[in-house]
Amino acid sequence: MGKVAVYPIGFTLTIRDRHVMNRSKTLLILLLAPVLLAAQPLPAHNLRYTTPATVWDEALPLGDGMMGSLVWGDGRPLRISLDRADLWDARLVPEYSGPDYKFKTMERWHREGRVADLLRVYDNPYRRPAPTKIPAGRIELAFPEGAQFRETSLDLATAVASMTFSNGVVAEIFVHATEPTGMARIRGGFPQVKLQAPPFSGAVTDPAKGAIGAGDLAQLGYPAPVSTSGPGWSAYTQEGAEGFRFAVYAGWDGGVLAWSIASSNEGPDPLQIAKQRVQAALKNGFPRMLASHKRWWTGFWAQSSVRVPNPVVERQWYLDTYKWGAAARRGAPPITLQAVWTADNGKLPPWKGDYHHDLNTQLSYWPTYSGNHLEDGLSYLDWLWKTRDTAFQWTRTFFELPGLNVPMTADINGRQIGGWRQYTHSSTTSAWLAQHFYLHWRYSRDREFLKNRAYPYLHDVAVFLEAFTANKDAQGKRTHPLSSSPEINDNKPSAWFDQVTNFDLALDRWTFEKAAELAAELGLKDDEARWRHVLGELPAFSQAADGTLLIAPGYPLPASHRHFSHLMAIHPLGLIDWDQGEEARRTIKASLEELRRKGPDAWCGYSYSWLGNLAARARDGATAEKALEIFATAFCLRNSFHANGDQSKKGYSKFTYRPFTLEGNFAMPAALQEMMMQSHSGKVILFPAVPDTWKDASFRTLRADGAFLVSAVRRGGKVTRVEIASEKGGEMQLVSPADGRIMKIDFKPGEKRTLRF
């Protein structure tokens, strides 16, 4: 690495040889050239069908975080499925307010072998149809016989779906990026419009089938909707559970259709609210609404972009990043299992469409930080903060302990809704959630957020875990009364371990280490000492002789399993990291080799996305690339929805079912971002895990720890150019792509620099 030369224009250049100094004029012209690469998706990234989607889960997805739609069908009819994030049947689970609902009782029953009682109180309530996310119905547009389907497509850059017909009819459809309104413009002949409510009041033909939730919506027992209509409009109001209701209003004029969904969470008359929104949209007109919608999406795509030589992986990154932009918006509830695309098939959504905190919500927000989408990612943290009082109450009443824990399966209000007891009532759920508060601080360096959100949340989690782990084992180390590792042994009694699992231990250790770190950052010396003391009382990780991480002491991974919970210390927590040296590398390599050896028979699609992240942390670009390509080609439907099972039937998993959930979709872009840049250790490493075959690759404004925005170009297998912008100022430690040395570069707030190698 050569010396660092600072030029008056504010750029910093790393000079490889002195002859570059003589070419400074040419170099400066290059530095002042336009943006490194185009931010917008390419046409090749878009969705395009020449055969119609005939099922809801292959539809074109549209959304604004609060309201969502699915566009499908062949024009007879063209279907627009409707959804809104706060549509919930949030009935309380009666068992969870009874006298037996205590951790001590649960532990005692487990030790007494009272499995039937445990199932009755803790597991079985989840088999009821409610609580659950609910859909909003659909709009059906019936075109005449002469309108034969030609193609349908979704333009990712503008978030506009279209459908064209052989007679020249064209339908353009979008859900506005910032207004709770959807719009469609039909050119060449307006269709018949039918507004259809979900079959909440129909006959029950299919009883509840448990966790996947395939039962009829009619099991919820709602009254029939109140439908009204007139010239140019149609509407209905649906009464739900416990006074909740929502309304859908659709209006059309001059070849333009608009619709909106409003709920009683917004006011006493949701129908009037939805009507006013539709009338305002029609008055504004389709072109003006479309223009403001496109402006938002242009800004979204400007936040980050990637270019890699694998077209399958690159396209999946854009498809999944698009869905994230359509599903995550500050001011709306956070992403559930299906976000704003609840099933439109007359059935309850898979796993009730709820908040699963043993993997699903956490993975859905992995791409937020390095992907430079912090603002929209705050929808998750805002909701966790808003529901904190509910979590405090649950912690006091169920665990009878101070501090903060969170139910693993939750409704929109953050209340426990049950399921497999070993995980729904886990002691470390809140610790994994706290990591997202920590990551927002590290990537934003917002000290107000650190002081008022990140540390208070982490502090309260630490208080709980300090109390929960108060008992010591025979070696004098803190332990758990009961410990589990999602979802090892399902909900059998053996899913609880008497010794602490590596899953729980990793979250324990992470909590106290980071609580001490943040306390030190805030100058809270007593808190720092307290958390470091507790950290010192925790045991070491359970490992085999070759370094492989076990499930629990003496308990190796027994077989292929979808959830890599025992590897939490490697990723996402980073407690065991490649840069820590040979011992850590030995553990990482041995643990990933065990995954390979046990095989993917019991993996889901999200397992491949997670493997991509793990392999990237192991600096194994070839494995990461292969995992992401398998995810995209075998576990995603043609609209890119993650369907859990292997849709290719090529043996990538013995699961071949297709319940749609989103966490695999959102862990995928996080993995590619990990391949392109890593900064979790405090050092910025460029292209740390790209395959040797990726000679040319680039990324634009990925976000690094320390609130640095980084763009980089790799050509011919070497990094040639790096642009860095510092939001908060401070020192960046950059691993030089020229020789691997640490470059320490000081920035002022707002300063930008360009480096060439």
Residue 573 and residue 586: Cα distance in Å, rounded? Answer: 18
Instruction: Show Cβ contacts of residue 190 under 8 Å, excluding neighbours closer than 6 positions.
Output: 252, 255
pLDDT at 29 exceeding the cut of 60: no
DSSP-assigned beta bridge partners for residue 228: 235
The pLDDT of residue 207 is 61
The pLDDT of residue 577 is 98
pLDDT at 17 exceeding the cut of 50: no
CB 633 within 8 A of CB 622: no
pLDDT at 470 exceeding the cut of 70: yes
Q: How confident is the model at residue 203 (pLDDT cuts 50, 70, 90)?
A: confident
Query: Higher model confidence: residue 691 or residue 5?
Result: 691
Cα angle at 78 between 72 and 82, to 5 degrees? 65
Instruction: Show Cβ contacts of residue 35 under 8 Å, excluding neighbours closer than 6 positions.
Output: 700
Burial (CB < 10 A; 0-12, 13-18, 19+), residue 330, is middle
Tell me how long the chain is: 757
pLDDT at 71 exceeding the cut of 60: yes
pLDDT digits (tens, 9 = 90+) for 146-179: 899 999 999 999 999 999 999 999 999 999 999 9
CA atoms within 13 A on the CB side of 37: 24
The pLDDT of residue 206 is 67
Burial (CB < 10 A; 0-12, 13-18, 19+), residue 128, is middle
pLDDT digits (tens, 9 = 90+) for 353-386: 999 999 999 999 999 999 999 999 999 999 999 9
Residue 219 and residue 224: Cα distance in Å, rounded? Answer: 13
Q: Using the Cα atoms of residue 91, residue 93, residue 96 and residue 98 in order, give the sign of their dihedral.
A: positive
Residue 385 and residue 657: Cα distance in Å, rounded? Answer: 35
The pLDDT of residue 145 is 85
pLDDT at 202 exceeding the cut of 90: no
Residue 459 identity (one-letter amino acid): H
Phi and psi angles of residue 385, each rounded to the nearest 5 degrees, phi first: -70, -40
CB 457 within 8 A of CB 465: no
Q: Please name which of 537, 547, 581 lies closest in space to residue 567, comparing C-alpha atoms.
A: 547
The pLDDT of residue 209 is 54
H-run or E-run covering 435: helix 429-444
Q: How confident is the model at residue 87 (pLDDT cuts 50, 70, 90)?
A: very high
pLDDT at 19 exceeding the cut of 70: no
CB 718 within 8 A of CB 757: yes
List, as own/partner pairs, every contact residues 643-651 make where C-beta atoms lie below 8 angstroms and the sequence separation is at least 24, other chains included. 643/57, 643/605, 644/604, 644/605, 644/606, 645/604, 645/605
* Summary mean pLDDT of the chain: 93
Helix-strand-coil percent breakdown of the chain, rounded to 5?
A: 35, 20, 40
Instruction: Show Cβ contacts of residue 204 under 8 Å, excluding neighbours closer than 6 positions.
Output: 215, 216, 218, 219
CB 293 within 8 A of CB 659: no
pTM of whole model > 0.75? yes
pLDDT digits (tens, 9 = 90+) for 722-745: 999 999 999 999 999 999 999 999
DSSP-assigned beta bridge partners for residue 153: 48, 162
Query: Higher model confidence: residue 206 or residue 461?
Result: 461
Q: Please name which of 110, 107, 121, 112 lies closest in space to residue 400, comparing C-alpha atoms.
A: 107
DSSP-assigned beta bridge partners for residue 46: none
Residue 333 and residue 364: Cα distance in Å, rounded? Answer: 13
Q: What is the mean pLDDT of residues 691-704?
A: 98
Residue 413 and residue 416: Cα distance in Å, rounded? Answer: 9
Residue 207 and residue 342: Cα distance in Å, rounded? Answer: 19
Residue 682 and residue 543: Cα distance in Å, rounded? Answer: 27
Three-state SS at 111: helix
DSSP-assigned beta bridge partners for residue 132: 89
pLDDT digits (tens, 9 = 90+) for 270-325: 999 999 999 999 999 999 999 999 999 999 999 999 999 999 999 999 999 999 99
pLDDT digits (tens, 9 = 90+) for 388-445: 999 999 999 999 999 999 999 999 999 999 999 999 999 999 999 999 999 999 999 9
CA atoms within 13 A on the CB side of 746: 1
Cα angle at 69 between 65 and 74, to 5 degrees? 160
pLDDT at 502 exceeding the cut of 70: yes
